[in-house]
């Protein structure tokens, strides 16, 4: 299914009714706008678990591990800096 809408001066776009119904989108629901190589992808945000809070649900396990390692390293560096300053 392909539908088009216009973007308003305020940057707003209407999600076509057929798609709102198909994906059970209701007022107040959040959608995630992702910039991909293929263009913009819009997904309904789901909060069924803690997963996907930092990364989209379709992120590979390898990418998740890399992000986790980077976050651990940042925490260690911050902790070390705070220790040195004390």
Is 80 exceeded by the pLDDT of residue 83? no
Nearest to 28 by CA among 37, 20, 36: 20
Kindly report whether the global pTM for this prediction surpasses the value 0.85. no
CATH number for domain 1-45, candidates 3.90.1150.10, 3.40.50.620, 2.10.260.10, 3.40.640.10: 2.10.260.10
pLDDT recorded at residue 63 = 87
For 31, the enclosing helix (H) or strand (E) is strand 31-36
* Average pLDDT rounded to a whole number, residues 16-25: 92
Q: Are 15 and 8 in contact (CB under 8 A)?
A: no
For residues 60 and 14, the model is more confident at 14
Q: What is the mean pLDDT of residues 6-30?
A: 93
Domain boundaries, the chain: 1-45, 53-86
């Amino acid at each position: 299914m392909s539908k088009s809408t216009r973007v308003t001066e305020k940057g707003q776009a209407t999600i076509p009714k057929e798609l709102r119904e198909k994906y059970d989108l209701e007022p107040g629901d959040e959608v995630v706008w992702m910039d991909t190589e293929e263009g913009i992808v819009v997904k309904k945000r789901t909060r069924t678990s803690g997963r996907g809070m930092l990364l989209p649900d379709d992120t590979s396990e390898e990418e998740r591990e890399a992000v986790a390692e980077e976050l651990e390293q940042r925490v260690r560096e911050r902790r070390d800096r705070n220790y040195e300053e004390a």
